[in-house]
């Protein structure tokens, strides 16, 4: 498993296609459908409902410090929002999210 930030495959000692696919499969089998690879969030369709979007989950990702939380679309949105407002240092910056 990767070291560093939880769920960030960029922390793997060897980052190749086989390692990425293995990491994604391992996380999928443990029902972790979101995986970071550096600044990229990969989502894998779980083909089943998972409790990932309720109010309680949303509230955990509203902080500026989400690095200790598992990868999630709410973290991506929060980072973009706070960067847009300049809350992440360096002043306000335009943001783009590709889905």
Residue 98 lies in a domain: no
Residue 91 lies in a domain: no
Residue 59 lies in a domain: yes
Does position 71 have pLDDT exceeding 90, yes or no? yes
Q: How far apart are CA 81 and CA 27, in angstroms?
A: 27
Name the band, by pLDDT with cuts 50, 70 and 90, for residue 88.
confident
Closest C-alpha among 91, 74, 73 to residue 83: 91
Name the band, by pLDDT with cuts 50, 70 and 90, for residue 45.
very high
Residue 99 lies in a domain: no
Reported in sequence order, the residue ranges of the chain that DSSP labels E, i.e. its strands, are 34-37, 40-43
- Residue 66: which domain range? 9-85
Residue 4 lies in a domain: no
Does the pTM of the predicted model rise above 0.85?
Answer: no
């Amino acid at each position: 498993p990767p070291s560093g930030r939880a769920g960030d495959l960029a922390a793997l000692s060897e980052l190749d296609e086989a390692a990425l696919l293995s990491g994604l499969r391992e996380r999928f089998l443990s029902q972790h459908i979101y995986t970071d690879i550096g600044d990229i969030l990969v989502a894998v369709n779980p083909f089943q409902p998972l409790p990932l979007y309720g109010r309680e989950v949303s509230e955990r990702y509203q902080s500026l410090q989400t690095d200790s939380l598992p990868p999630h679309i709410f973290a991506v949105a929060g980072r973009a929002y706070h960067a847009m407002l300049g809350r992440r240092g360096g002043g306000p910056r335009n943001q783009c999210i590709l889905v």
